[in-house]
Structure 1
Amino acid sequence: LRADLPKPLLRVLRIATPADLDAYNKRAQVEDKAIIFGLEKIAQLKLPMNLSRAIYLPEAKKTLFYFTAEGRVDFRELVKELVQNLKTKIEMRQVGVRDEAKAITGYGVCGESLCCSTFLKEFFPVTIRMAKDQGLALNPSKISGACGRLMCCLQYEHDIYKEQIKTLPKINARIETPGGAGKVIKNDILQQKVTVRLDDENILTYQVTELNIPKRQDKPQGQDKPQRQHKPQRQDRPKQGRPNQQPPRRDKR
């Protein structure tokens, strides 16, 4: 059972004592107070930043503030106000919107807890091409996560979609079907179905196994564009002219 648990495993030191729980509650109260005061001061100073969370470190007598912003922010006046009110050292740390969502946690459009706050250990690139390959509507409200960026889950099944789509014809391609010739208007990648508008305007859906469609081939890397053929250089021909003849020499008398 231990081998099936995710790594790394944290070591349990002991069961929390009443003193531990009391210290935890006091720290939470300080953090809540810091967040509320920080948000008020940010609004008063009209700073272009969003405060995410605060962490109080009683051993170091320090409070860490995590925030997001589009660019650099001059928060020196804010730090002065925080030091006077909280009576601790203040450290400001700027994070990205994905890190903010991971720290705050929440729920996605699927109804489940955010992937980044549950099991994802690191972030990876997600592109709009992944949504296109899966046939998703390119509606920002449908494919964006709580952080406002493209949802991390778009990457989970992308490789499967890329492989499955190779067996399907391209949209607008003309193909032959048991019902006659027509144009492809829709593909169902997971169910491997092709919807065709026939030449007689009837719309029929077929399993890809009912159609004789060659599998798409991946383009070899570096061969997307035809290579330019270098023309042989023109060699200059020697000019044909009269040979250099010296005029006849006249003897002086």
Structure 2
Amino acid sequence: MACAGCGTGVEGKPSGCKSNGGCSTGGCNRLNVFDWLSNIPLGDSLAPFDIIEVSFNNGSRKDFFRNVTKQLFDKGEMVTVEGVSGFDVGTVSLTGELVKLQMKKRRAEDTPEVKKVLRRSTNDDLQRMNDNKAREREALIKSRALARNLGLEMKLAEVEIQADGRKATFFYTADDRVDFRELIKVYASEFRAKVEMRQIGARQEAGKVGGIGSCGRELCCSTWLSDFKSVNTTAARYQNLSINQAKLSGQCGRLKCCLNYELDTYLDALKDFPDDADNIETAGGVAHLQKRDIFKSLMWYSYEGSNKQYPLTISRAKEIRQLNRQGVKPDDLKPVEVVTAKPKEADLGYADVVGLISLKSLEKTAQKRKQKDKDKQKQQKTGEQKQGQGSAQPRTEQPKGNQRPDNRQQQDRKPKQENRQQQQRQPGGNQPKQGREQQPRPEQGSRSEQGPRQQGQRQQGPRQQGPKPSAQPDQPGQQPDQTGGQQGSAPRQDRRPPRHKHRPGNPNRNNNPEK
């Protein structure tokens, strides 16, 4: 058996149906009519009511048909009924004695002109219905284009094609009267069916389209509401609602139908409030009524030119109004004190620790990170400043790896300088090479500045007993000269000065007669 509302499903089990013909594909909620008289047995002399209610097009249209076949139909079964020049296929939505109440509500009379139920729907009937239903979407698009070409001010909401395809009903909305005589001829020739134009309101259109309301539930007009009553702004004023069209309007663009749901309750509560107490006079001036609070039975007044409001009880407002009729103006309104009691805290079964958890550890880490970032920025700035200053000042040469500090170099040069002086004074001594004098030596400038040194000054530093024997050069390719130094480099302290012939009578070679 197919789904009662949407016609989908296989034999024996509806597809996605919830219960009794209602499925999750949409639109079948209209069929959820509870038959509260179905379990009540009838008397032996009474026969069951022979008229059933059948719904079409997912419950958007319902009609009554007489069951002449004397078969027992259950809710949700597919039946084939009489149509316009043919047959139509619908779903049984209601049977039994409750149909009488529905007919009375919809003002339908039990006359012999009521259409008949032909049979239970066969597979051929269902296949033909599905084929014609598949054409409805394409027909709606094409019909809108044809109406636009003719320049008609109308909006087509839905197209319903009969199960046998011999009739097409076009539902449209329009603000003014529409002359669609030419349009019917175009539709009849285009769709090859009998055309019926039916005008509906904005609320019916929203019911056919469907949607979700501001309350979060499916629209009432698309589920259960079938009787649309007029709604005006007076209903909102009785309920003390702000007249805001954006909040009070539904998806259809009209005022919400739910404004009428609680209107009777508000009207009953407003019967206790006085009708002629809109303005009351006191010694301080005339007080005007601002609002009525039916839940607390209070009336709020305010003076002219003041925004402060004073709540009065119903009895006090009636009393002041009675005094004004007598020409008496009370000194004060005597407003009541409105105490807003805090709601009792329910025991939720757990401790509320909001605001009790300390996040100081996280704050400290964040502060440390910020401080580190600031220090890095400062270091970068100082480094850039130092680089700028270094580029402006001349660079001083640093001693190389094979060179030693100045104090040690000076101590190593002392015996060599003395030996050179002795060689110059000896007649047969070895003379230095000619090329040697031309080469500039780094220690010449220091020798002229130092001046004569005493013998005791040589004993400064760790090497007091004289120079050590010469060692091999550290780097290959560098050969020591006759004086023990490397070519083009400073002399090393580990090389012993060469032996020379001394004068007779001078046993100490280091003894300088000039000193």
Question: Does TM-score exceed 0.5, indicating one fold?
Answer: yes
> What's the TM-score bracket when you normalise by the shorter of the two chains?
0.5 to 0.7
Measured after TM superposition, the shift of residue 137 of structure 1 is 1.5
What TM-score do the two structures reach when normalised by structure 1?
0.64
Secondary structure of 2:135's match?
Answer: helix
Q: Given the alignment, which residue of 64, 71, 82 partners 2:187?
A: 82
Q: 1:117 to 1:202 in 2, by over 3 A?
A: closer
* Contact 2:157 2:171 survives alignment (8 Å): yes
Task: Write out aligned runs for 1:45-194 (5 A).
Answer: 45-59=150-164, 61-168=166-273, 173-174=279-280, 185-194=290-299
Measured after TM superposition, the shift of residue 214 of structure 1 is 4.3
* Contact 1:51 1:68 survives alignment (8 Å): yes
Count of paired positions: 207
In structure 1, stretches of 5+ residues that fail to align are 177-181, 216-253
Q: Residue 231 of structure 1 aligns with which residue?
A: none
In structure 1, distance between residues paired with 2:167 and 2:274: 61
Q: Which amino acid aligns with 2:36?
A: A
Structure 2 residue 165 is matched with structure 1 residue 39: no
* Contact 1:167 1:208 survives alignment (8 Å): no
Which whole-Å deviations, capped at 9, do the CAs of 1:9-47 have from their partners, x for residues lacking one? 763336988766644542332111110101111222221
Q: 1:202 to 1:68 in 2, by over 3 A?
A: closer
In structure 2, distance between residues paired with 1:197 and 1:203: 6
Which whole-Å deviations, capped at 9, do the CAs of 1:40-81 have from their partners, x for residues lacking one? 112222210010101001336111101111222122333233
* Contact 1:192 1:208 survives alignment (8 Å): yes
| RMSD between aligned residues | 3.8
Task: Write out aligned runs for 1:204-243 (5 A).
Answer: 208=313, 212-214=316-318
* Contact 1:175 1:184 survives alignment (8 Å): no
* Contact 1:62 1:90 survives alignment (8 Å): yes
Q: Which amino acid aligns with 2:77?
A: L
Q: Given the alignment, which residue of 24, 28, 33 partners 2:133?
A: 28
Q: 1:74 to 1:141 in 2, by over 3 A?
A: same
Q: Residue 3 of structure 1 aligns with which residue?
A: 36
Structure 2 residue 84 is matched with structure 1 residue 13: no
The alignment-based identity, stated in percent, is: 33
What TM-score do the two structures reach when normalised by structure 2?
0.34
* Contact 1:168 1:213 survives alignment (8 Å): no
* Contact 2:132 2:165 survives alignment (8 Å): no
Q: Which amino acid aligns with 1:59?
A: D
In structure 2, stretches of 5+ residues that fail to align are 1-33, 39-51, 55-74, 79-90, 92-120, 320-515
Q: Which amino acid aligns with 2:196?
A: E
Secondary structure of 1:3's match?
Answer: coil
Q: Residue 244 of structure 1 aligns with which residue?
A: none
Q: 1:19 to 1:207 in 2, by over 3 A?
A: farther
Measured after TM superposition, the shift of residue 196 of structure 1 is 5.3
Secondary structure of 1:165's match?
Answer: helix
> Which structure is higher in RCO with an 8 Å CA cutoff and minimum separation 6?
1
Q: 1:21 to 1:208 in 2, by over 3 A?
A: farther
Measured after TM superposition, the shift of residue 86 of structure 1 is 1.9
In structure 2, distance between residues paired with 1:112 and 1:24: 31
Q: 1:19 to 1:126 in 2, by over 3 A?
A: same
Q: Which amino acid aligns with 1:38?
A: S
In structure 1, distance between residues paired with 2:300 and 2:183: 61
